[in-house]
Amino acid sequence: MDTRRGALAVPKVRRVGFFTPTEPPPESSQRPNRSQSGPVEATTSSSPLSDSPSGNLISPVLIPPSRHHSDNLTSHAAAPVPVPGPAAFRRYLAHDRSLHVGSYNAPDSLLGTSPPSSNGEFSEDSVSLFGFQRSDSTKLSASFPNGGFDLTLAVRAPQESETIIETASASEGKKKIAEVSGKSESVTTKPQKEKEPKSLKDKTTKAERRAIQEAQRAAKAAAKGEGKRHADESVEANPGKAAKKPQPKKERPPISSSVSEKTAVAVEKEKRMDVPQTQMQYDDKSRVDKAKRRAVVEQTETKNKVELFLHLPQYERGSQLPNLSSNFFTLDTIHHAVYKVGLQHLAGDISGDNARCIAMLQAFEEAIKDYTTPPMKDLTMDLTTKINGYVSFLIECRPLSMSMGNAIRFLKNQIRKLPVNLSEPEAKASLCSDIGRFIDEKIILSDKVIVQHAVSKIRDGEVLLTYGFSCVVEMILLYAHEIGKKFRVVIVDARPNLEGKKLLRRLVSRGLDCTYTHINAISYIMREATRVFLGASSIFSNGTLYSKVGTACVAMVANAFSVPVIVCCEAYKFHERVLLDSICSNELGDPDAVANIPSFSTKAKQSKMMDNNKNLQFLNLMYDSTPSEYISMIVSDYGMIPPTSIPVIVREYRRENLLL
């Protein structure tokens, strides 16, 4: 078995390109070990991919499993690698490979000197090594010819007490060399790598962090005047905070000369200009740091984030609320009404898109009422910046929904279009009335129109299925009951929010005939349903419905049972963006809500243990996207339209919307 497997396991194809003639002997000597550790196929071909998070960051060409450089890593660290070239690159690869196997197969580890428990850390470190950002790599490649890098390494090395750090810096150096040697792979893999660094900081222990910091300071001293990068600035400005949250970036010594740095920044900026960034990507370190410095709310990032969703903000819940509410009377930049709404969003007191949007608009209205233009400033400009500040505060509390984004856009546009000759009280009054009109016409009145339209689709004897809680759907059901239609309602609900209970309570108290079930039973209960009514958070211009997580499941099951799916959505929630999946744009909820099951509440200890488990990540997605082919009809204030007509509404009425 073993021999056969061995023969099969190392396909010749794999060796193309990266194998030197010296490699085969160690390869064969390692083979028995591998077959012990698991299926050979996995280790030879796909272990870097499946094994550690860094695996999927390596482009396929980097995979070659050569192990002939199985010498101790620390020796690598001690010896600065002076020769840039393919040989160094290969060594770098080999080193990387050994790291992976080390973490994969403990007895086989080449890092016999390091404690066995550090296996995970090692793999994480290797991740972070890959994870240097675009800016860094450009800077590095620019700075390499100076030779400054070797110098800093030499400065750094004595400072570091732990082998982990040393290996980190050493292989980092190799990375630089690899990049300098002009391998295109490193360029292609960079975008993926960006999201990695975050995971490192959670894994380092206190001592390590201190070591990192010390190393950093020493490096800074060595490269005087060069540490202009804002990350380091923030470290200086707020050392306490930095100690709490060491960024992997800080491990890297600031080595580049100021000139090359400037060019690198310029390149970076150009790159950013090319790609329009609509949303902040939370795996983009520098932007996050920038945002953090401006932040009012001090958020702690959660541990154990799911890799696919690193670009979304995820903070620990519960800690910041008391802190914020104590700040309530000391704040100056944020208007108290906005602050209140922000806290309500944070605490989850206001949920539901319409309610959130109305609360926000009303807070803005109040803020505008209390607003006075500072001397020597223009109302239009100053108020817009004020509103921007409020909005970023609200985003810190909870990411905005699409509808809120639309409402904000409306308000800003309204401010921009204020006639210049208007006096301040007049301008304020006009803005307030605009906000009031928006709430009345776009939300309240359009709900009424939707109810009128949707009720015409309810016939006697029908079974209407709805998912979760949507206030428009509730209004439709109550109104249909009021006008004497005979129907039955099936409410499908899902953990962890169980919003459907609220709907159930309200409907039952009004005397409607209801069935309550969880989404697990959807395929069973769908047999009975004749119509599915769904609420929406937003609808994008390709007809994709963006709604509470689980909606897509309901719509797809309904489609499979050929039950018409009716989506009720106000037109102000339509968005001109195109959404293809639920990954790019989403919101992460409290992961503990998924972990904590009410009936198991006694096992708090167990859940704590689960929290600290590195192999376990909780994902509480708030939204999902339903492709348009699963939607039969959209009921909006423009009538009943097919999902293919969303772009028409957006195109024809967006301008009018803003004019209002």
> Interface with other proteins by CB under 8 A: which residues?
457, 459, 531, 564, 566, 632-633, 638-642, 644-645, 648-649, 652-653
Rounded to the nearest whole angstrom, what is the least distance from the CB of residue 550 to other proteins in the complex? Answer: 22
Distance CA 277, CA 279 (A): 6
Distance CA 489, CA 531 (A): 10
- Whichever of 314 and 632 has its CB closer to other proteins, that residue is 632
Q: 3-state SS of 45-71?
A: HHHHHHHCHHHHHCCHHHCCCCCCCCC
Q: Closest by alpha carbon to 474, among 441, 445, 508, 498?
A: 508
Q: 3-state SS of 130-155?
A: HCCCHHHHHHHHHHHHHCHHHHHHHH
State the amino acid at position 33 in one-letter form.
Answer: N
The answer to whether the CB of 48 falls within 8 A of the CB of 100 is yes
| 365 Ramachandran zone, left/alpha/beta (phi>0; psi -120 to 50) | alpha
Rounded to the nearest whole angstrom, what is the least distance from the CB of residue 430 to other proteins in the complex? Answer: 27
The answer to whether the CB of 88 falls within 8 A of the CB of 178 is yes
End-to-end Cα spacing for the chain: 76
- Whichever of 190 and 531 has its CB closer to other proteins, that residue is 531
- Whichever of 71 and 629 has its CB closer to other proteins, that residue is 629
Q: Judge if the upstream peptide bond of residue 145 is cis by omega within 30 degrees of 0.
A: no
- Whichever of 500 and 643 has its CB closer to other proteins, that residue is 643
Tally of residues, the chain: 660
Rounded to the nearest whole angstrom, what is the least distance from the CB of residue 558 to other proteins in the complex? Answer: 12
- Whichever of 86 and 647 has its CB closer to other proteins, that residue is 647
- Whichever of 459 and 603 has its CB closer to other proteins, that residue is 459
- Whichever of 88 and 539 has its CB closer to other proteins, that residue is 539
Distance CA 333, CA 367 (A): 11
Rounded to the nearest whole angstrom, what is the least distance from the CB of residue 619 to other proteins in the complex? Answer: 34
Rounded to the nearest whole angstrom, what is the least distance from the CB of residue 311 to other proteins in the complex? Answer: 33
Distance CA 169, CA 172 (A): 5
Rounded to the nearest whole angstrom, what is the least distance from the CB of residue 22 to other proteins in the complex? Answer: 59
Distance CA 162, CA 556 (A): 53
Distances from the Cα of 273 to the Cαs of 262, 294, 370, 385, 598, in angstroms? 16, 22, 37, 22, 48
- Whichever of 35 and 645 has its CB closer to other proteins, that residue is 645
Structure tokens at 429: 């009054």
Taking residue 558's Cβ as centre, other Cβ atoms within 10 Å add up to 24
- Whichever of 497 and 657 has its CB closer to other proteins, that residue is 657
Helix 86-104 to helix 163-180 angle (10° resolution) is: 140
Rounded to the nearest whole angstrom, what is the least distance from the CB of residue 459 to other proteins in the complex? Answer: 8
Enumerate the H helices of 275-310 as residue ranges: 285-294
Rounded to the nearest whole angstrom, what is the least distance from the CB of residue 580 to other proteins in the complex? Answer: 19
Distance CA 506, CA 470 (A): 12
Rounded to the nearest whole angstrom, what is the least distance from the CB of residue 567 to other proteins in the complex? Answer: 12
The answer to whether the CB of 253 falls within 8 A of the CB of 283 is no
Rounded to the nearest whole angstrom, what is the least distance from the CB of residue 645 to other proteins in the complex? Answer: 4
- Whichever of 152 and 632 has its CB closer to other proteins, that residue is 632
Rounded to the nearest whole angstrom, what is the least distance from the CB of residue 547 to other proteins in the complex? Answer: 20
Helix (H) or strand (E) holding 188: helix 184-193
- Whichever of 531 and 575 has its CB closer to other proteins, that residue is 531
